[in-house]
Amino acid sequence: MATYDQTESRGHSKPLVVMTGGTGLIGSSLIERLVDRYRLVNLDLEGDPESSPHVEFIPTDLTSDTSVSRAVERIAGQYGSHIASLVHLAAFYDFAGEDSPLYDEVTVEGTRRLLEAITKLRVDQVVFSSTMLVHEPTTPGKPIDEDDAIEATWPYPESKVETEDVVSEETTAETKAVVVRLAGIYDEMGHSPPITNQIKRIDGKWVTSHFYPADLERGQAFVHLDDAVDAITRIVDRRSDLPDDVEILIAEPVTLGYGQLQDLIARELHGTDWTTMEIPEAMAKAGAWFREKNPFGEDPFIRSWMVDRASDHYEIDISRARELLDWKPEHTVDEVVPEMIRRLEADREGWYRENDLTPPATIAA
C-alpha cells in the first residue's frame, strides 16, 4: 500500500485537491491534468491504492457516516486542515431511466454527508458536477443559459437538482461553490450511451434505426471528455477569481439534430445518408415496450420512457464559460464521430466491449 510522509505533506507548496469519483471516466482524466500541480486525494468506493504514487486513494462509501468521517479525519491528519478545492464527481446514474433509492442515498444525501463532514476543514472551493438536463428543454435556435428555467423530468436530473440545492445549503460562507452543468460526454472511443447505441443500430442495419418519434432537427448537446476536463481544470485553477456561488454550463455551442447525427454515422459506416422517418409517439412507445418485454430480442437501449424525451432539445449558450474561464471547446462531435467509426471498424469486438454493448446479431454473425 502506498505510504505518505505526513510532515512533507503538511509543508508541501502544492495546493491540495480532494476528489470523489476519481476512478471514473472524467475523474481519471482530471487526475492526469492536475497531478503535476496539485496534491491529490481520491475518495471512491472502489479503486487501486497502488494505481499512482502521486494520488492517495481513500476507500469511501458516501452512504456511510462512519466512512465519510474517517476519510475526512484521514485527510486532516495526513495533509492538514486546508483544502484548495473539493471536486465532487461521484453520483449514481442508471440509463434505464427507472427511479432508484440510490439517487437519494448516493447523489443527494451522500453529497450532504460529505459537505457536512468537511466543515471541520478550511475549504476554498467546492466543485459539483451536475448536468445540463436540469434545465427545461428548449427549441432549435434558442440556446439555454444558466439563468433559464430548471425543470428536470426524470430521476437522474431530478437528483442533480436536489443536490445543487444541497450544495447551496451546506457550503459555508468561507467556501466558494461552483456547479458545473455538463453536456453529454464523449470521446474518440465513444463512451457516450446515446451516440454509441445510435451507432450500434445503424451498424446492425436495424429496421428500428429508420424511425424516430420526434422532430429530426432536435438533438442533445455534447462535449468532448478532454474539453470537459479542461473546463474543470480551469475552475480549480481560477478558484480565487470566480464568484462565490456560480453555475456554469459546459457544452459545444452547436447541437446536431438527431437526423444529422444519423446521416453522419451512416455515411461513415455505409457510405450513404440514412432514411429516418418520424413516427407517432404512441407507436414508438408500443414498439419500445414490446422490445423491453421480448426475451428473445436484442437488449433494447430505447426504453418506453425515452420516447417522452425524444422531442427534448438541448442547445447551450456558453457565454459564461467563455467569460469566467476563457474556455471554449476544441472538439466538435461531428468531427470526432468519424474517428469513433474508424476505431469501431478497426476492432469491432473491442469497441463494443469498451462501450459495454453487445454487437448487433447481424454483425456478430
CA distance to 27, 46, 67, 70, per residue, from 61 (Å): 17, 9, 6, 10
pLDDT of residue 208: 85
pLDDT of residue 361: 82
Give the CB-side neighbour count of residue 18, counting CA atoms within 13 A. Answer: 29
CA distance to 150, 179, 216, 261, 317, per residue, from 144 (Å): 11, 16, 19, 21, 6
pLDDT of residue 46: 80
- By three-state DSSP, how is residue 86 classified? strand
Contacts of 315 (CB under 8 A, 6+ apart): 138, 140, 141, 142, 143, 144, 221, 253, 255
At 247-286, the pLDDT tens digits run 999 999 999 999 999 999 999 999 999 999 887 655 555 5
> What are the grid coordinates assigned to 325, written together?
474561464
pLDDT of residue 145: 98
Checking DSSP bridges between strand 122-123 and strand 82-83, what pairing results, if any?
A: parallel
CA distance to 16, 31, 38, 121, 235, per residue, from 13 (Å): 9, 18, 9, 18, 20
At 284-311, the pLDDT tens digits run 555 554 455 554 455 554 455 456 678 8
Hey, how many other C-beta atoms are within 10 angstroms of the C-beta on 185? Answer: 18
DSSP code at position 118: G
> What are the grid coordinates assigned to 260, written together?
444529422
pLDDT of residue 246: 98
User: Which residues of the chain fall short of a pLDDT of 70?
Assistant: 1-12, 47-52, 96-97, 280-308, 362-365
